[in-house]
Structure 1
């Protein structure tokens, strides 16, 4: 079963696999991030702009949203020959839910300049399996395959993949599948027990220096809590060939109960 079923040119319905972790009757935001990336890539192809590649994905999460039908839209905010800014948005229950602003830049051959990437981490085959449902409820968390090595509270290396398609009966590119897992960075290397402390993220920004390849997303993650209710989850993003970029998520930190 896929995470979403397309019901029209701009409408989608989530399946049970999208069930959330903080509240199981709400959507987990991770698949929506993949869906918005998919829509940006479809729009790029429809406009004949395959000469451009996404280099930054910035998602703003406007609030929680139910397991209900979704309306989407895509528009080009800043057209250009070499650089474009494209916005995609999902609304659910009549309210804006998540917005993506994606910078696309012209592809160029810079292999002779390639340098400076972070160090690789042990791959999924060298990382032990871990059951994320020991920390989290929800059907989305139950739907993913996770490998994890913890170095301490809020510090770990995680590999994640999913056997489920993003959209039913629809071809989805590698970047959208990758983006549909990015949000798990905030939940797979936790600093504290999420049953005692809530730390939902308000956003997610991923900066990429190359396109990801394959089914695995690697996350070399650090979670930081500040003294006044804010936090940050930062991760170096990997595929099985090495690092591809970085992500950051702004957190709201509150004790539960």
Structure 2
């Protein structure tokens, strides 16, 4: 299989593409397959909370093709016609970073786990909260996850989560314009939850920081916030993610 997945896609995000590559293929088939993540797809700029992504497909170029369509032709020529095309990069992840370089990795499993303690956010209305996770330079890739015990004041409460980069909490921008929701249909009283954040690939340069963004509203989910203002509390919250050597 040849996978082409928009990382800044707001409708079908990178989490879904990685899940398909990791779970739908046998190990033998995966070793003969290629995964390419590009910045694009069904996209809108993230304004609330602010986000960033550099459009383009540097990984198809890194694999020797000017675009994904050409890469697909080479892949089909090799697999259907049995002709040598010089294609390489099988069995690994090729991900466009938010700034537009190609990052190639064989393993995206989390290797960092950070204790965050208590996280309190309004729901339904309010401003984003940006919690500092780590200082650059570092590279983060894969699917982060946040876990904790959830408490809410009113039913149908929700908040949205993402990783962000900036020099300080006021300048932090959501990586590749994607957030993921946690929504409680009923009033939650210490319910244990583990939530996937948007899967990403990002370089955090020196002088900038990696943040966890928790926001009561996200324009990518317009119309899906709770009907009443309230609050959500996460106790004993932890964040797991993968860092890579620069």
Larger Rg: 2
The verdict on a shared fold, with TM-score over 0.5 as the criterion, is no
Greater per-residue helix proportion: 1
TM-score (norm 2): 0.27
Greater RCO (CA < 8 Å, at least 6 residues apart): 2
TM-score (norm 1): 0.27
